[in-house]
Amino acid sequence: MTADALAAAGHHAADGGAAATAWPVAVLVAALLTAPYAAGVARYRATMPRAWSPWRTASWGAGALLVGVAVSPVLGVVPDPAVRHMVQHLLLGMLAPLGLVLAAPVTLLLGAASARGRRAVAAVLRLGVVRVLTHPVTSALLHVGGLVVLYLTPLYARAADDPVVHALVLLHFLLAGCLFAWAVAGPDPAPHRPGLATRLGVLVVAAGVHGALATYLYAHADRLPPGGGHTVAQVEAAAQWMYYGGDVAEVLLAVALFAGWWRSRRRADARGSAPSAGRVPAVSPAGAAR
């Protein structure tokens, strides 16, 4: 996998030679995401009394597919380069992470691993740096703050010209998006996940900042992003995609948040205890298998 091949998507999707290279890279990326999860499901079924939810598996498959599409020449069908980039942002940074996170990969890992492996995973989840990074506020800063830096500084133009920088931007989209979705609505056990009100508040603020950034881009389309080389009409169209597409993704994340909270409340009612926010090791490996 090369940065030049990844750059065939987004800014460089119209380059025929790079696009030909990007097809196998896109397939490889999707396969690298899918194969470990499939192996984990097989291991889980062999070791755990409860079957792994096919909905979780389908969710991971959908997320992996969206990642593959985002780095494939499929986006070349979008003629506007600014809109093409924004669609890539929505796929990699918002929609694919939701599918991957709702597949409960950490819970799957806990169920598929040996006893020693489970202890190691739990120890990692309790590390101070993990506690900080997975807090909703921190993850929101990484998720939305990265967009502010990208669109309000020369980083966007640099990514358009440098395949390595472009690949790193794509990776940040995906990782920051997964971290935010996991902190807000993930079904996995988490080391420092606050209650519903805090997570919902962070989501609302992050959505507001995302929308405000899109509005700012639209209002200043004649000079943003700096050095982007797009026309005013192209930036305005991209800003609209960012605004409305972001709304859709954030509503889906809110639905996932409330659905997870409701399931947690029902389990707590059945046990006669208070609802858990998913702290380690509050959710057993079988707990998210449904």
pTM of the model: 0.87
Q: pLDDT at position 253, please?
A: 97
Q: pLDDT at position 18, please?
A: 57
Helix, strand, coil tally for the chain in percent (to 5): 75, 0, 25
Number of H helices, E strands in the chain: 13, 0
Q: How far is it, in rounded angstroms, from Cα 140 to Cα 48? A: 34
Q: pLDDT at position 14, please?
A: 47
User: How confident is the prediction along the chain (290 residues), in pLDDT tens digits per residue?
Assistant: 455 555 555 454 445 555 566 778 888 899 999 999 999 999 999 888 788 999 999 999 999 999 999 998 888 888 899 999 999 999 999 999 999 999 999 999 999 998 999 999 999 998 999 999 999 999 999 999 999 999 999 999 999 999 999 999 999 999 999 999 999 999 998 877 899 999 999 999 999 999 999 999 999 999 999 998 999 999 999 999 999 999 999 999 999 999 999 988 887 777 765 555 555 554 445 445 55
Task: Identify residue 68 by its one-letter amino acid code.
Answer: G
DSSP for 146-168, please give it. HHHHHHHSTHHHHHHH-HHHHHH
Which DSSP state fits 190?
B
Q: pLDDT at position 280, please?
A: 53
List the domain boundaries for the chain: 3-271
Number of Cβ atoms within 10 Å of the Cβ of 22: 27
